[in-house]
Every structure is written in C-alpha cells, then in structure tokens.
Amino acid sequence: DTPFTLIAGPCQIQSLDHALETAERISGICEGLGLELIYKSSFDKANRSSIDTPRGVGMDEGLAILDEVRKRYNTPVLTDVHEAGQCAHVAEVCEVLQIPAFLSRQTDLLLAAAETGAAINVKKGQFMAPWDMKNVADKIASTGNERIMLCDRGTSFGYNTLVTDFRGLPIMGETGYPVIFDATHSVQQPGGNGTTSGGQRQFVKTLASAATAIGVAGLFIETHEDPDTAPSDGPNMIPLDQLEALLEGLVAFDGLAKI
C-alpha cells in the first residue's frame, strides 16, 4: 500500500506569486515525505456567510494561475465548481473537480462534472449520513466516470458546530471508492463568528491523526503562511511552517494503519 495522498493548498487563490510560493513549499515537503500531492485552491468562494466578505479572483484568472502551478511543479491541481456550466472549462486545467458539501446532492452539477472525465472529489453534505453518499457516487458513476473520491468534512451537530463521526470513513469506504478526510473544514464552526465562520485550528492534528490511524486514502489540509490574515477559512487553516512536522507524524500512523 502507498501512503495517503495529500490534497493541500491555501483556501483561496490570492495571486500567481502566492500560489507559486505555497506550491513550491508544499510540493517540496511532499517530495521529502514520499507523498503524492494534489494542489488545491479556490477561484470563487460561492457560499460565504455574508455578502461583505471577499469571494476570490474569479474563474479565468484562477484557472490561469492553477495551470501555471501544475506546469511548474508537475502536480495535479484541484478546484471546486459551483454550477454545471463551469465544469467543462475547469476540467481543461484541473485533474480533479471538487463538489462542495452544500451542493453534494445537485444532480446537474454532479453529472456535468462527471462527464468531463476528470476525477471528482465530492464532499459529504453536512446534512447527510455517510451511507447516503452511495447515492451521490452512483449519480457520478452513471456517466461511466468512476474516478470518484468521497470526502468527509464533518456533520451538523447542533448549531454552528460540526462533529466528525469517524465511523463514516469505513462506511463510505464500503462503496469501493477512496475516502478522503478533510481535516480543515471538519474543525470549522459554520457561522460561528457572526458574519464569518469560526474554526478550531488546534484540533487539526487531533482529527487528522485519528483519520490516518483508521486508514484513509487521502487527507485534505488547507494551509497558509499566515492564516490569520487569509481571506477565508483562516481560523481553521494551519500555518505553512507547521505542515511538515504534522505530516511526518501522520505518515508514521499511516504506515501502521496499512500494515
């Protein structure tokens, strides 16, 4: 068995320079640890808590930047899509299209993404049971595209709070598709700061360790050189200079989990 795949990058695409710098550092770390990297960053935050928070650089500029990242660092790139009409264009650049959790039951979006032939990473809706993801995977597979990853990013638990039910990882695994654990959004506190979401960065290691010991196919971890100034998901991203130490620990657990 190979080590877990790492899906990582800053939550938002901020600029070409910023993307290249983070890609260089993350790909260097992954190379050192023998991890396969998929670089992740978003061109549009389409469901911000409030109308007053920044949404991103937009699709055209975003894809141009991701294209540069993939060429320079020879790494597959992933970004999220929000409407069916975006999928074909995004798939020209991105090896992986990501379906956001809130949109995980939107049939047209799932089908349009699937029909590009790209790999699809679907986040489990916070309102869904892990066994309900089989129906989601079946929608994608109905197009003939079986390059599917199922990703857990937490489940609604009271108000403004998510909980990770780790039984969900093996349950989603029963579909036969690889299971990814999103350690960044699982510690999000949706709407928890009034007009933005809060987060609990201090539990990323806790939950990522748990997921790795259970034996996931991949981890999703957003990171930023200075999360507290990041335009989104700052409270739950980990500082880039802590990524290597975190991953070293996780690789060790992964080795044991996959014996």
Residue 50 in contact with a second copy, rule: CB under 8 A: yes
Residue 253 in contact with a second copy, rule: CB under 8 A: yes
Span of 1-9, 31-39, 202-210, 216-224 interacting with a second copy by CB under 8 A:
202-210
- Measured from the CB atom, the residue of 68 and 209 that comes closer to a second copy is 209
C-alpha to C-alpha distance for 45 and 37, rounded to whole angstroms: 22
Q: How many residues in the chain? A: 259
Residue 239 in contact with a second copy, rule: CB under 8 A: no
Question: What is the smallest separation between the CB atom of 32 and a second copy, expressed in angstroms?
Answer: 19
- Measured from the CB atom, the residue of 18 and 105 that comes closer to a second copy is 105
In b/e form, how buried is each residue of 222-241, taking b as 16+ CB within 10 angstroms?
bbbeebeebbbbbbbbbebe
Strands, DSSP E only, in 81-235?
A: 96-99, 119-123, 148-152, 155-156, 162-163, 179-182, 188-189, 198-199, 218-224
Tell me the number of residues near a second copy by CB under 8 A.
61
Residue 203 in contact with a second copy, rule: CB under 8 A: yes
Residue 157 in contact with a second copy, rule: CB under 8 A: yes
C-alpha to C-alpha distance for 155 and 46, rounded to whole angstroms: 20
CA dihedral 66, 19, 184, 4 (to 10 degrees): 70
Residue 83 in contact with a second copy, rule: CB under 8 A: yes
Instruction: Tell me which amino acid residue 208 is.
Output: A
Query: What is the footprint of a second copy within residues 164-193 (CB under 8 A)?
Result: 164-167, 169-170, 187, 190-191
Binding string to a second copy for residues 96 to 135, with x set by CB under 8 A, is what? ------xx-xxxx----------------xxxxx-xx--x
SS3 219: strand
- Measured from the CB atom, the residue of 32 and 131 that comes closer to a second copy is 131
Selection from 119, 43, 50, 26 nearest residue 82 by Cα: 43
Selection from 97, 86, 85, 2 nearest residue 40 by Cα: 97
Summarize as ranges the residues that interact with a second copy (CB under 8 A).
46-51, 55, 82-85, 102-103, 105-108, 125-129, 131-132, 135, 138-139, 142, 155-161, 163-167, 169-170, 187, 190-191, 195, 200, 203, 206-207, 209-214, 249, 252-253, 256-257
